Amino acid sequence: MVEQFHIILPEFPRGFHLITHIIEDNLPKLPEKGILHIFIQHTSAGLTINENADPTVRTDFETAFNRLIPEGASKYIHTFEGIDDMPAHLKSSLVGQSVSIPVSNHRLELGTWQGIYLCEFRNLGGKRKIVMTVIS
């Protein structure tokens, strides 16, 4: 069985944000076993799974990504949407646009210290569209 539905995330500031609770709050009853696939429909934001306990991890992610792909590099050609746009596209490609999580006993099988992150790479990214597919 396959169920698919859409949600719209509220606007988040630039950075790495735990959205596990938003995802869980918008899920139907999950099957006994299966997979939840989550896809973000944007090219300047991404999704990943990482540390859910210590918020300094998310701050360090932001620092590392900004060092790896700085804004305002003189070699960027795609600049008409702002100095954060091309770096956001590059960062999004590194992180990716989807995550898949096993489902067991009607629950997401995230590890003890794992959470789902929205990686917002734009200064003003706006609301983000998510497609969630439950496969059982």
Name the pLDDT band for 45 (thresholds 50, 70, 90). very high
87-127 pLDDT tens trace: 999 999 999 999 999 999 999 999 999 999 999 999 999 99
Split at pLDDT 50, 70, 90, the class of 131 is: very high
pLDDT band at 73 (very low <50, low <70, confident <90, very high): confident
pLDDT > 90? residue 80:
no
Q: Which domains does the chain have, with CATH numbers?
A: 2-135 (2.60.120.460)
Mean pLDDT score, 59-69: 97
What average pLDDT score do residues 32-43 get? 98
Terminal alpha carbon distance of the chain? 5
**What is the average pLDDT across 9-19?**
98
Cβ neighbourhood burial of 54 (10 Å; 0-12, 13-18, 19+) = exposed
Q: Predicted confidence band at 68 (pLDDT cuts at 50, 70, 90)? A: very high
Span 15-42, average pLDDT: 97
Mean of all residue pLDDT scores within the chain: 96
User: What is the pTM for the complete model shown?
Assistant: 0.96
- How far is residue 12 from each of residues 1, 30, 53, 104, 112, measured CA to CA in Å? 33, 27, 19, 30, 25
pLDDT value, residue 79: 87
